[in-house]
Amino acid sequence: MKVFYDLLSFIVSICIFPFEFLKRDPAVRHRWARQKWGIGSHGPHDIWIHAVSVGEVLAASSLVNEVNHRRPDIKIALSTVTDTGQIVAKNNMQDTTVFYLPWDIRHVAYRVMDDIKPRLIVIMETELWPALIWSADYRNIPLVILNGRISDASYSGYRKIRWFMKRLLSKVSFIGMQGQTDLERIRNIGAPEKISAVTGNLKYDVEPPASSTLSNEPSTNLFWLNILKRPVWIAGSTHEGEEEKILDAYRQIISRGTNLTLILAPRHPERFQAVEKLIKQAGFSCLRRTDINAGSSNTGSLPASKVLLLDAMGELATAYSAADVVFMGGSLSPAGGHNILEPALWKKPILFGPHMENFRQMAELFIQEDACIQVATPEDLTSAVTTLLADPEKAAAMAGRAHNILRRNRGASIRCSDIIESYIENRH
């Protein structure tokens, strides 16, 4: 089984390598290529954390901060799959070594383990890479899963290969899940009860980014937030098929005489150009965030007919601080939604669509406590944004309830750090 998996993984890696290499920025291509094959020297680290992309990296940041606070002597290395994850990790965890997760082939994993020499490996959420898990088991390195969750789609797929999942999960040292439903699901697909428990959701513990102080000074990357014409509507982490609906709603709102600045922030960088084209096709002028520089003629307030395209990575989480209303993307299109705690952290009123499958329990809690508005159509979106802008007290009350939910559910980073410390202490 393991040999067959390695062979299959090697073939797949070779096949996708050219595409993955060429789609990346030339500045990172060669580093990405070397690290995918386990080439490079990072030196010994106590903990290797894997967080696939932005959401997992932000959750990992609260854990890393807690571990560093307790044990400043511990060295941490963090791997990601995506380029955006790399950028956010470097911005939020400056004392942490950041690299790309290698291909899931045992001998490649061994090469990285020989370099890093981790005393513990932590997988964020449920990134179950068989070769990595097998390699850790073979090298007698404890591997734990923290902040685990299983979506409806993943659960359905895992159940079909329960025989395989049961054997794989038996090699994991501990599994900490976000909630009771996630715990029941991981146990139903084979996780032993004695090594699995609810540890909470680390996303509730995320603090404002280090660069969260707004400034008019050009030397500050976020100075542009202060030149926005208010009020501001941010549509964050949008996916294909959503921007047209958002622009339609925006047109309806400003046609009623409402002055409103729209910021569109596509989830994936490769879509920036396509979204700019959509904005212009909809009849709006488009200003890209990367075109706003010190001394630029574009640094004045935006006119009502201009849409700002946020094409600078790592700024969205702080940009929410300047919003008057936030729509969370990935929820009108069936992409599973994104993290609504980021705007909740700033006490902003939140809208999202019907597709929040990846944040099911969180979305249900927000709906139950009237801490958000769920929309299904551009008309719903138009109505919700208009209502919140017209009634600041209602908007503030709803945002306050969202913030209270966030504060009330904190504590996962402490519980997860306790688990990490117990394994580190046993590996002296």
| Among 20, 56, 207, 217, the one annotated catalytic | 56
Band of pLDDT at residue 91, cut at 50, 70 and 90:
confident
Range in 2-11, 219-228, 267-276 the model is least confident about: 219-228
One-letter identity of residue 332: L
Other beta carbons within 10 angstroms of residue 362's beta carbon come to: 25
Q: What is the set of domains in the chain, with CATH numbers?
A: 43-200+411-425 (3.40.50.11720), 223-408 (3.40.50.2000)
Per-residue pLDDT, 304: 54
> For 321-343, what is the mean pLDDT?
95
Give the pTM: 0.89
For residue 100, the surrounding DSSP H or E stretch is strand 97-100
> For 234-242, what is the mean pLDDT?
97
Please, what is the average pLDDT of the chain?
A: 92
> For 388-408, what is the mean pLDDT?
97
- What SS3 state is found at 123? strand
Per-residue pLDDT, 229: 81
> For 213-219, what is the mean pLDDT?
42
Per-residue pLDDT, 323: 95
- What SS3 state is found at 266? strand
Cα separations in angstroms, 131 against 4, 33, 102: 11, 19, 11
Phi, psi dihedral angles at 264 (to 5 degrees):
-105, 125
Q: Treating both helix axes as pointing N-terminal to C-terminal, what angle do 54-70 and 83-92 enclose, rounded to 10 degrees?
A: 30
- Whose CA is closest to 331, among 363, 351, 354? 354
CA 245 – CA 75 distance, rounded (Å): 46
Is 207 one of the catalytic residues?
no
Query: What is the side-by-side order of every strand in the sheet holding 174-177?
Result: 97-100, 76-80, 47-50, 120-124, 143-148, 174-177, 196-198
For residue 20, the surrounding DSSP H or E stretch is helix 2-22
Phi, psi dihedral angles at 171 (to 5 degrees):
-90, -5
Higher pLDDT, 80 or 269: 80
Over 70: is that where the pLDDT of 122 sits?
A: yes
In whole angstroms, what separates CA 408 from the centre of its chain? 21
Token pair, residue 114, equals 């020989």
Per-residue pLDDT, 214: 45
- Whose CA is closest to 196, among 265, 268, 161, 144? 144
In whole angstroms, what separates CA 386 from the centre of its chain? 29
Over 90: is that where the pLDDT of 213 sits?
A: no
